[in-house]
Amino acid sequence: MELRLNIKIVMENKPKFFIIPGWGQKPTDKCFTWLINLLRKKGFEVVKIFIDWDYRVMTDYVDDFKKQYRKYSGNKNYVLGFSYGAVIAFITATELKPKKIYLCSLSPHFKEDIKFMKPWVKKLVGKKRISDAKKQSALAVAKKLTIPSVIFYGEAEARKFPQIKIRTMETVKYAKNIKMVVVKDAPHKINYPEYKKVIIKEL
C-alpha cells in the first residue's frame, strides 16, 4: 500500500509535457515517436493530446485542448505544438499558464493572415475555418504572451509558405519572453533531421 502511494506521489510530481499534433495528425503518429521517447528519457510524463479535426474549427480545437490540459496538468507543465497544434498552444498559453511553450511551425491561421492565403489554401482550409479565424488576432495574442516560449520555423517551409515566417517574426516582435529558432533547410516536418536537432537542443 505504501509503495503504491509513493509511486503515485512520484508520478504526480513528475513534470508533464503536452504534445499537440498538427491538423489531421495524432500524437501517436510515427513522426512524433522520437520526441515522445526523448521526453520520457528526460523524466517527463508525456501527455498526448488528441483533437477531433474533422468538420470543426479552431475554436473547437482549442476547447478540446483546454479540457485535456485541465484534466492532466500537474505542478510543472510544458506544451509543444506543431503547425495547427502550435496555434492551439499559442492561443491558450496566457490562460492556461504552462511553464514554457514550444511553437513548431506556427500556422498562419489568424485574421491577419487570411488576405495572404492562396486560393488553393483557402479551399483546403474551408469557409468555416476561415470564418472562425477572423475572430482571432495573432497580434493580440502575441502582445499578451509572457510565458517563456521558443518558436521555430523551417527555411524550406518558409519558402513554400512565406506567411509562416511573417507570422513568426510578428510573434517574436510583440511577445515578451520568446526565442526564435530558424531550422536550416527544414520543410513542414517535425521529424526532419535538422528540426529534431534544434528541438533536442532547446529541450
As a whole number of angstroms, the distance between CA 151 and CA 174 comes to 13
* 17: three-class secondary structure by DSSP: strand
Q: What angle do CA 60, 21, 45 make, to 5 degrees?
A: 105
The whole-number pLDDT of residue 124 equals: 86
Provide long-range contacts, Cβ within 8 A and 24+ apart, for 33-41.
34/191, 34/196, 35/80, 35/190, 35/196, 35/199, 38/200, 38/203, 39/203
Digit-coded pLDDT (tens) for 128-171: 999 999 999 999 999 999 999 999 999 999 999 999 999 999 99
Vertex 97, ends 133 and 84: CA angle to 5°? 30
* 4 vs 187, more confident: 187
pLDDT given for residue 120 in this prediction: 85
Q: How high does pLDDT run on average in the chain?
A: 93
Matching residue, cell 513528475: 14
Q: What percent of the chain shows pLDDT beyond 90?
A: 87
Interstrand relation of 178-183 and 149-154 (parallel, antiparallel or unpaired): parallel
CA atoms lying within 13 Å on the CB side of residue 9: 6
| Class of the domain covering 15-202 | alpha beta
In angstroms, the CA 91 to CA 96 distance is 10
Which pLDDT does position 107 carry in this prediction? 95
What confidence score (pLDDT) does residue 121 get? Answer: 84
Task: Specify the pLDDT at position 112.
Answer: 95
In this prediction, residue 5 carries a pLDDT of 43
pTM here is: 0.92
Please state the φ and ψ torsions of residue 112, each to the nearest 5 degrees.
Answer: -70, -20
CA distance 25 to 10: 31
The domain locations on the chain are 15-202
